[in-house]
Amino acid sequence: MSDLPKYTALTPDIIERIRQAVGPDAVDLSPEALDEAARDASTEVHAPVAIVRVTTVDQIQALLKLANELNFPVTPRGAGTGLAGGALAVDGGVVLALAGMNRILSVDEKNLIAVVESGVIVADLQAAARAKGLSYPPDPASLDTATIGGTAATNAGGPACVKYGVTKHYVLGLEAVLPTGELVGAGTATRKGVVGYDLAQLLVGSEGTLGVITKLILKLIPLPEETCSQVAVFADLETAMGAVSAIMAGGVTPSAVEFLDSRCLHLVGDLLPFGDLPPAGALLLVETDGAKGAARAEMERVGAICSEQGALHLLPAGDEAQRQELWGVRRQVSLRIHDSAPIYVPEDVVLPLASIAEFVGRLPELAECHGLTIYAFGHSGDGNIHINVTAGEGQEASVEACVLELLKLVLTMGGTMSGEHGIGVAKKRFLPLELSAPSMRVQRDLKRVFDPKGILNPGKLFS
């Protein structure tokens, strides 16, 4: 923020204008609601002045037209599960709450598509698809609460993306209200389409800065008949990553290949039935899915490859309950890391597959040098590593220095600073490390095409 106020303050008069535009019941000024809207799953806190809870496209159009006219900022928000502060009102103004736009308009098993409003919760769509024998694969960790619109705005991923692709691969078309208040359709309701620039894909991953997505046309796939899981423990991460390569080169595309580095493994070692975990050990959690029998055959192959590659322990899940137990171990990792230290910064880098082990191997030295602890786990099949830098009170400066060094190392090794969480406000200061000046300029100009007055989700990405 510059020193001079860039935006008009939301005076009672302006609040009244907003009430007239969107309807009086849509405006929420209660301190509890404002406090809740000030937070997401990042560590940032930025309170809005008002929340507008919409259920119709007309309300969104009216609000954004007014924001243009009167010059106040509007920040779209789904469920607030983002990890980069993308839904926080860093310049105050209005939080546009989309959770009430939550109708599943159709799950069309003949055309293998779903049409949903953007406030639909991912798990609700998945359940509706499953009821018709279909699957919507993107599976971010927050899927029980995250909205489809939020996951589209951030192009969210998840464990299944190694086989099925990320959110953008499932968005065939969408409708969005542009910051100027105009409603546009983009993309198609078909499985292919090349008419004009790909505005749908441009809006996906734009973190709510180019438009407010109101409706999505999503690709569905037939529901796999069976899913098999197995845990494998290796002497070290390099050996484990060798097994991942061998699995993928062996013609098996697993539907998940999660890894835990040795620090994470030992953090949850008590949950595993193995007596002797190797000091530098690493764990893989592999899943296969597909037609009845085929997934099981693939998992047997995965087990054989892991053994050949030196797995010390193998633990296949015999049934769904055991499968959930294995994922429970994976989920405990995050919780226990959070509990382990007062400061906790999640990074979300991506490395070329062949560099994962080397990169993770350099983390202990980096941590030691800054007096911190670093945990690494994540999606080894697509190189997306969740790095958790933890520290004690007062170590903020060390964390910042360590993160900067970490991101530089990622970029030096051919990686990228975010695989699924996005930039938002939390990583905005690091953008110039990765993007060139001409790229930044073009992206700022693109933003201006959509949002000439800069009223939509300011303070994020390039603005």
| Range 40-79, binding its own copies (CB under 8 A) | none
The tally of CA atoms less than 13 A away on the side-chain side of residue 259 is: 30
* Residue 144 near its own copies by CB under 8 A: no
How far apart, in Å, are the Cα atoms of 350 and each of 66, 81, 170, 387, 389? Answer: 40, 21, 21, 10, 16
What distance in Å separates the CA atoms of residue 353 and residue 381, rounded to the nearest whole number? 7
What single letter denotes the amino acid at residue 352?
Answer: P
* Residue 432 near its own copies by CB under 8 A: no
* Residue 463 near its own copies by CB under 8 A: no
Select from 69, 124, 198, 400 the one that contacts its own copies (CB under 8 A): 198
Select from 1, 131, 291, 335 the one that contacts its own copies (CB under 8 A): 291
Nearer to its own copies, 36 or 226 (CB): 226
* Residue 304 near its own copies by CB under 8 A: no
What distance in Å separates the CA atoms of residue 134 and residue 271, rounded to the nearest whole number? 33
Angle formed at CA 458 by CA 455 and CA 462, multiple of 5 degrees:
120
User: Contacts with its own copies in 112-131 (CB under 8 A)?
Assistant: 112-113
* Residue 409 near its own copies by CB under 8 A: no
* Residue 288 near its own copies by CB under 8 A: no
Among residues 371, 325, 372, 322, which one has the least CA distance to residue 344? 372
Select from 42, 55, 59, 206 the one that contacts its own copies (CB under 8 A): 206
Angle formed at CA 171 by CA 169 and CA 176, multiple of 5 degrees:
145
* Residue 199 near its own copies by CB under 8 A: yes
What is the smallest separation between the CB atom of 119 and its own copies, expressed in angstroms?
A: 21
* Residue 201 near its own copies by CB under 8 A: yes
Select from 5, 342, 352, 392 the one that contacts its own copies (CB under 8 A): 352
What is the 8-class DSSP label of residue 43?
Answer: S
How far apart, in Å, are the Cα atoms of 351 and each of 160, 230, 412? Answer: 18, 24, 10
Nearer to its own copies, 231 or 356 (CB): 356
What is the smallest separation between the CB atom of 455 and its own copies, expressed in angstroms?
A: 17
User: Contacts with its own copies in 368-397 (CB under 8 A)?
Assistant: 379, 382-384
What is the smallest separation between the CB atom of 62 and its own copies, expressed in angstroms?
A: 17
What distance in Å separates the CA atoms of residue 52 and residue 423, rounded to the nearest whole number? 24
